[in-house]
Amino acid sequence: MRFAGKSIVVTGAGSGIGRAAALLFAAEGGRVIAADRTAAAAETAQAIAEAGNTAEAIRMDAGDEADVARTVAFAVERFGGLDVMFANAGISGGMANIFDTDTALFAEVLRVNLIGPWLAVKHAAPLIAARGGGAIVLTASVAGLRSGAGSPAYSASKAGVINLAMTAAQQLSGSGVRVNALCPGLTETGMTQPTFDYARDAGKLDRIGRLNPLRRGAKADELARVALFLASDDASYVNGQALAADGGLSSSHPVTRQDYGRTAV
């Protein structure tokens, strides 16, 4: 019961890591605001309630400042304050290379994946500090650590999230608010479901995650548990860090290189 009585916002709570984390936060005593831009937020909140725990759902766009402000205000209204913000919502933006990526798509990926976490810090940190401290966890990616694990737009956005966690930790010095970034490897979520489904249908599921030393993809629950660690007092001296949970992929990031003007083989 590491989160007994704690008020917690989870964005992207409609599926994947966000839903798994919301369920786990609630199971450990947290009072959860499940936020998502889809109606699936309500499904997550219902699952939490059916398990005998506490949650409320809210529709929000993670990259819209009014929505983020409304969500943290809802946490204060329903649960009296805010102790933990898990800014997890994100989009992939496809796999186009630098030259084929549309400017509008690049901007949208940055809006959701990077501006979203910044807005989460901006609006959540003062409320968490007012409660005497707590934690903010931002979902980044191993794609933000170095190249080879995502598209240019996605990778750039997640690299920004990692630096945002470091910068925010410094600017919140003395507040009691810790900020860390979680860097998942390939994980089965709503965003990656087509990849996993294709591999299953083709009988090639064993090829998923084959480049990491564990030679498998991750389950959302595995990443959610890392997020809970970072949000809990178990990580009370962990601040401004990017924690990779990727089966060891980022120890080398082995990839097939693509020469300029040629197709990788």
Q: Which residues are catalytic?
A: 154
Spatial separation of the C-alpha atoms in residues 15 and 40, rounded to whole Å: 7
The residue among 173, 202, 227, 215 whose CA lies nearest residue 16 is: 227
DSSP secondary structure letter of residue 240: S
Q: b or e along 104-138 (b: 16 or more beta carbons within 10 Å of the residue's beta carbon)?
A: ebbebbbbbbbbbbbbbbebbbebbbebeebbbbb
Burial class for 241, CB neighbours closer than 10 Å (0-12, 13-18, 19+):
middle
Phi, psi of 139, deg, nearest 5: -85, 115
59 forms bridges with which residues in the sheet? Answer: 36
Spatial separation of the C-alpha atoms in residues 57 and 172, rounded to whole Å: 28
Sheet hosting strand 177-184, strand order edge to edge = 54-59, 31-36, 7-11, 84-87, 134-139, 177-184, 242-245
